[in-house]
Amino acid sequence: MTVTNSPPLRWVKSSYSVDNGGACVEWAPDHATSSGIVPVRDSKNPGGPVLNLSVGAFTGLVTLARSTEL
């Protein structure tokens, strides 16, 4: 069995996130580019669960966010 160590993900805060403790979403664009899987997490809980989306599902999520009033 071969074990490889993956580099840590570089997380980027969404431009839709606000700095006042509200909705804070981060994603890992480098991983998305290399694998086709878009990891998404809550920036307030970096050790918490990560939602792994296909590129198409992530595109749908962004489209929904853009069309919704907060």
Residue 31 covered by a domain: yes
Judged against a pLDDT cut of 70, whether residue 4 lies above it is answered with no
φ, ψ (nearest 5 deg) of residue 61? -65, -45
Residue 2 covered by a domain: no
Instruction: Write out pLDDT tens, residues 19-32.
Output: 665 668 899 999 99
Residue 58 covered by a domain: yes
10 contact partners, CB below 8 Å, separation of at least 6: 28, 29, 30, 31
Residue 1 covered by a domain: no
DSSP 9-42: P--EE-TT--SSSS--EEE-HHHHHHHSEEEEEE
- Higher pLDDT, residue 15 or 13: 13
Gyration radius of the chain over CA positions: 13
Residue 41 covered by a domain: yes
Bridge partners, residue 36, by sequence: none
Boundaries of domain holding 44: 24-67
Check residue 8 and give its pLDDT. 87
Q: What's the chain's average pLDDT?
A: 84
Instruction: Write out pLDDT tens, residues 28-67.
Output: 999 999 999 999 999 889 899 999 999 999 999 889 888 8
Residue 53 covered by a domain: yes
Tell me how many domains the chain contains. 1
